[in-house]
Structure 1
């Protein structure tokens, strides 16, 4: 990163290859990391290699977080999907850096679709440890084409892993409540208060004519990110998104009093974020 980042820095948007930026950041710097990487739709991804992986003793390196077991799991999955090798070689070193950058009370949210979610779950179990798995969130929506020859695909998956299962931060009471689907089945007081969200989130996509729309093709709605930021970070905490896209993570973090680092190598994304954060004080563009 051209200018050194510290926990005392201003919120920052970085135009660069995210792996280079991640390797320049300090260990355990972020309470929350949200990732919405490009989905594996058959496009070739750039290959990356890494030798820096988790080591409980703090020294040396091994072939994976779980040694030979990890390599065996990875090998087994590769036999099932010949596209997965390219995608995982791209994503794996970035997830290794994400684990390093999470604070001891930190949480990772990995947003994927049906093409990769099941593979990523098995491999994240190997990378982070099965005991670090917290939730599989289903974000359900109803927009787009209606398939006639199969059940229409109308959801994404968000995998949630924590750095330390004994120390992670989570505050469900801070999350905006939602209406009961059958308010007549609860008391009037409960219906007025609303209920806490479960692991299935019904939330519309970004409206093509709505206030949120930036024009960026893969923009995610603020309501989805708001729940994540509210539950898994506190005011003043640092939030990281290194597939930043339109900058929704940063916009929500700023509105809730969090600080953020956003990274994207796409010039179009950077221009969208420049416009989006023009009225937000203290945001640096690097």
Structure 2
């Protein structure tokens, strides 16, 4: 598969690791990953710890050495026997593909977010950790046996902690929770979001709904794209799903590469981008043919 930064918006139907490995180094200002959440009901896990060591056998990014201490068994009643063997090489590719001023957003839920933080600290370096964003929502069933879980976690890491791009002025503002405590001018303008984002899920009857089961709302991706990319920059999503990242990127004047191995997902993306009149090339990882 050939692709160049002066090419067209691209949707790749195929394995995202194979697709990522064919893309050139350092061309994406923003990488957003929304992988499967590994939500198997029964899980057993030994501890996972990454320890920096001058004599470590593994050389991490930026030349840092660390030893990885893993439990010898991770068993899941889920799609993956070893979730982290699946996710880790894709995170490593994300680091390689990020531009020097680039940012990674990894979208997970409470089951895996803490383990992902340890893994990303080892891969990127702890000094490259920027934020833990909590996306809070209030929809669906609620347990009466514990506090209902109504949030996702988005871990944010940068390629270079001294030179990453972040534009808070371009982010859509939100209403003050207590507008009477600020001046009328501030209340009318709204406030900058914090690291806790209150935003509804995609409404089952709303105009955004594509029918894709794990579709994320455009408002969440809009905030991410506004803050961590410029007009004309390239945005990458290796778990494209319903194509929200591409739709939002195009609406904000960014360019995108989306990858998904599901034919159903690619069909949804094709219809969604066509409806929005977004010029896009569709191909398989080993194909140069336009579709």
Does residue 29 of structure 1 match 2:27?
A: yes
> Paired residue for 1:10?
8
CA drift at 1:82: 4.2
- Tell me which residue corresponds to 2:259: 263
| Higher relative strand content | 2
Which residue of the partner structure matches residue 60 of structure 2?
Answer: 65
Unaligned runs of 5+ in 1: 45-61
Shift of 1:192: 0.2
The 1:198/1:70 distance shift into structure 2, 3 A limit, reads farther
In 1: Cα distance, 2:254 partner to 2:201 partner: 24
Shift of 1:252: 0.2
- What's the counterpart of residue 47 of structure 1? none
Cα distance in 2 for residues equivalent to 1:238 and 1:40: 28
1:174 aligns with one of 158, 163, 170:
170
1-structure distance, mates of 2:171, 2:225:
9
Identify the residue that residue 49 of structure 2 maps to in structure 1.
none
Q: Distance in 2 between matches of 1:36 and 1:165?
A: 23
In 2, the alpha carbon distance for the partners of 1:157 and 1:221 equals: 15
- Quote how far apart the aligned CAs of 1:25 are: 0.5
TM-score (normalizing by structure 2): 0.87
1:212 maps to 2:235: no
Does the CA-based 8 Å contact 2:172-2:223 persist in structure 1?
Answer: yes
Label 1:179 to 1:70 Cα distance change in 2 as closer, same or farther (>3 A): farther
Query: Is this contact kept in 1: 2:60–2:66, CA < 8 A?
Result: no
- SS of 1:114 mapped into structure 2: coil
- 1:85 positional shift: 7.0
Using the size of structure 1 for normalisation, the TM-score is 0.88
- Alpha-carbon RMSD across the aligned residues, in angstroms, is 1.8
Cα distance in structure 2, aligned partners of 1:181 and 1:196 = 12
Residues 166-219 of structure 1: per-residue CA shift (max 9 Å, x gap): 110001010000000111111111000000000000000000000100000000
User: Residue 134 in 1 paired to residue 130 in 2?
Assistant: yes
Question: Is the contact made by 2:74 and 2:82 (CA closer than 8 Å) also made in structure 1?
Answer: no
5+ long unaligned stretches in structure 2 = 43-56, 284-291
* Cross-structure match for 1:56: none
Q: 2:37 aligns with which of 29, 36, 39?
A: 39
* Pairing 1:106–2:102 present: yes
The answer to whether structure 1 residue 153 and structure 2 residue 180 are counterparts is: no
Contact 1:64 1:71 in 2 (8 A): no
- 1:275-286 maps to which residues of 2 (within 5 A)? 275-279=271-275, 280-286=277-283
Asked if the contact 2:58/2:66 (under 8 Å) is kept, the reply is no
CA offsets per residue over residues 111-161 of structure 1, 9 Å max, x none?
000000000001110110000000000000000111000000000000000
Corresponding residue number in structure 2 for 1:117: 113
